[in-house]
Amino acid sequence: MNRPRFSLFEKRHQRDGQPDANRASDERLAVLKIRTTDVILIVILFMVGFIMLPAVNSLANRHHRTTGKLEIVVVVSGNVVFRHVYDPSDEPVNFHWDENGHSMTIQVGPEGARVLSSDCRDQFCVHSRPISMPGQAIVCAPNQMIVKVIGSSDDGAADFVEVNGPSADVDAVAGQIGGYDAP
Amino acid sequence: MRNSSYGRIDKRSLRTRIASAVSAVFISVSVFHGCAMPFGKSIGQSNTAVRQFFAMDTMMRIELQGKDAEVAADAAQALIEKYDSLWSALDEKSEISSINISAGSGAIKVTDETFQIIKESLKQAEYTHGAFDPTVGLLLELWGFRKEINHIPSTEQLQIALAGVSWKNVNVDDEDCSVQLADPNTRLDLGGIAKGYATDRLKELLAQYEIDRALINLGGNICVIGEKEDGSAYKVAITDPLDTNQFLGIVYAKDVAVITSGGYERYLEVEGFRYSHIMNPFSGSPSETDLASVSIVSTHGAMGDALSTALMVMGLDQAISFWKNNPDFGVVMCTMSGELYCSSNLRDVFIPENDKEVTYFESA
């Protein structure tokens, strides 16, 4: 019943044989009305916070999780104009885009997505190899168009998490145009 | 008394403790979460800025971290867009188009920016003994890399175009900042050097804004400034040209540019054959050597860009002997049969994937 308030501290003081030297700090703590148990509680709570970190990260990245399916997304001037779940065994699908006097045809086939034709000045997009891995992209700068392979997300929304090539474990991929974030 | 204080926890005290507990959890989660956040994902921070935009017929992405990151990012984007408007061979209003239109006639006065990149391209053409040549514009057009043409150019057409291909046909005048193309069939095309050159100028620009670190991706031409926040190097992957779903390996990059050329990114398909977009300035045809890709690691972006093209044109043996005489850059080459060759100065920088066998070559 008459246990001293800072029993742990005082025991240590007695062991050290220097009770006077630590009395001042004990008194300061007493002014703050902080008990040993409060200190322990704060430490425990910090540990709980640390343990919760993976869960928080998981929640934060929830929209980045994918179902394993791949989607081909066509973005023109920042707007998604075409989405198609990519399955190499499906029959080829053509998407024709025609707007503001510009036109392009994108094909999603066994090899991936490719630009079949474009009225752009440089034809770089037409001459780009088909893309089939998450993060790969074909860019048509004159038409402000990007064809990109993305992971199909759980909630069906476009997963524009930056995947700069075949693996997310690198910072960039030399020679690949990919790495385009959300419009 | 103590006991009574334990026993009499009033509502106010309880609320304070609950608030403290919740705050402690929130603060600890925030602190740990913040610490765990990699540089690339910390877009919302005030000293990190990301810009992505179309320019130079590709996609640009710039990620900066430093004191004035936002202002620096705006300046960087403006610089690249300015270069694009000056140097596009397809934009009739660009300075390069003005020079090309006047081929075989008078000199054209240009801005200092255009003048400097042309001089740099000539320097690299001389350095690579013409394997990189900025005057292949007409060849690119003939082969259909500028417009939709689905046929191979005739021998006569190629001969006419080849007559104009030589960096020696470009005359520059330092005094009045003018450029003249001596042959009417010479056409400048800076596509093989512009992005690399731009990274060099970006580095100079960003230094003025106290940028600590940057990851610059100009359509696949990568340039990193500094190192990652945790002190590690940036991991820049090199695509396997024979299986573009795989990597050849990772370059651990600090303050260097990593630039790759390969026929796998852009090509022309005519009658079932695929032609690389890399022009051989000696033959007038798309490059066909034993190399599938060349990656250059260099502190000099313009040189790296030009060299990646030049070494592709040279082929493996010539490329190795070129490097042995000029070992001031690093190179990783993949042959058409999948063999990997690497300069010895990249032994600790380039780590091959899946324990791929690498043949290292030493300098002379």
Determine whether B209 is exposed, middle or buried from the number of CB atoms within 10 Å of its CB (0-12, 13-18, 19+). Answer: middle
ipTM of the complex: 0.72
B-chain residue closest to A175, CA distance: B220
**Where residue A78 falls among pLDDT bands split at 50, 70, 90?**
confident
Of A60, A126, A172, the CB nearest to B217: A172
A-interface mutation test, from B16, B54, B149, most A Cβ less than 10 A away: B54
For residue B124, give the amino acid letter: Q
The beta strand positions in A37-119, using DSSP E, are 66-76, 79-86, 93-99, 102-109, 112-118
pTM here?
Answer: 0.72
d(CA B302, CA B299): 9
| CA neighbor of B188 nearest in space, from B71, B104, B248, B112 | B104
**Is B298 within 8 Å of chain A by CB?**
no
d(CA B257, CA B304): 7
* B108-109 and B178-181 strand pairing: antiparallel
Q: What is the pLDDT of residue A153?
A: 45
Give, in order, the Cα–Cα distances in Å from A166 to each of A71, A114, A176, B221, B241.
14, 17, 10, 17, 13
Report percent pLDDT > 70 for chain A.
57
Other CB atoms closer than 10 Å to residue B139's CB: what's the count? Answer: 27
Instruction: Report chain B's terminal Cα–Cα distance, integer Å.
Output: 87
A-chain residue closest to B234, CA distance: A171
Q: What is the pLDDT of residue B105?
A: 92
B-interface mutation test, from A3, A39, A111, A122, most B Cβ less than 10 A away: A122
CATH number belonging to domain A64-153: 2.60.320.10
A-interface mutation test, from B236, B246, B312, most A Cβ less than 10 A away: B236
**Where residue A157 falls among pLDDT bands split at 50, 70, 90?**
very low
Q: What is the pLDDT of residue A76?
A: 85
- Tokens 């093989």 -> residue: B192
Fold of B48-67+199-361: T-fold (3.10.520)
Contact A173 B236 (CB under 8 A): yes
Q: What is the pLDDT of residue A32?
A: 62
Q: What is the pLDDT of residue A13?
A: 46
**Where residue A58 falls among pLDDT bands split at 50, 70, 90?**
very low
**Is B333 within 8 Å of chain A by CB?**
no
Would you kindly state where each structural domain of chain B is located, as residue ranges? 48-67+199-361, 83-181
The number of CA neighbours under 13 Å toward the Cβ of B30 is 6
**Where residue A1 falls among pLDDT bands split at 50, 70, 90?**
very low
Q: What is the pLDDT of residue B272?
A: 67
| Neighboring chain A residues of B256 at a CB cutoff of 8 Å | none
d(CA B165, CA B170): 10
Would you kindly state where each structural domain of chain A is located, as residue ranges? 7-60, 64-153
Instruction: Report chain A's terminal Cα–Cα distance, integer Å.
Output: 67
Q: Please list, in sequence order, all residues whose beta carbon lies within 8 angstroms of the beta carbon of residue B213, skipping any fewer than 6 positions away.
A: B39, B64, B65, B66, B224, B225, B226, B227, B228, B229
Contact B54 A141 (CB under 8 A): yes
d(CA A70, CA B121): 41
Contact A52 B237 (CB under 8 A): no
B-chain residue closest to A145, CA distance: B54
CATH superfamily label, B83-181: ApbE-like superfamily (1.10.3980.10)
d(CA B160, CA A133): 42
Instruction: Give every residue of chain B whose pLDDT is below 50, as ranges.
Output: 1-7, 33-46
Q: Considering only residues A136 and B224, tell me which one the structure prediction assigns the higher pLDDT.
A: B224
Give, in order, the Cα–Cα distances in Å from B153 to each of A27, B156, B310.
93, 8, 23
Residue A65 reports pLDDT greater than 80: no
Q: Which residues pair with B169 in a beta bridge?
A: none
Of B27, B59, B261, the CB nearest to A177: B59
DSSP state letter for A133: S
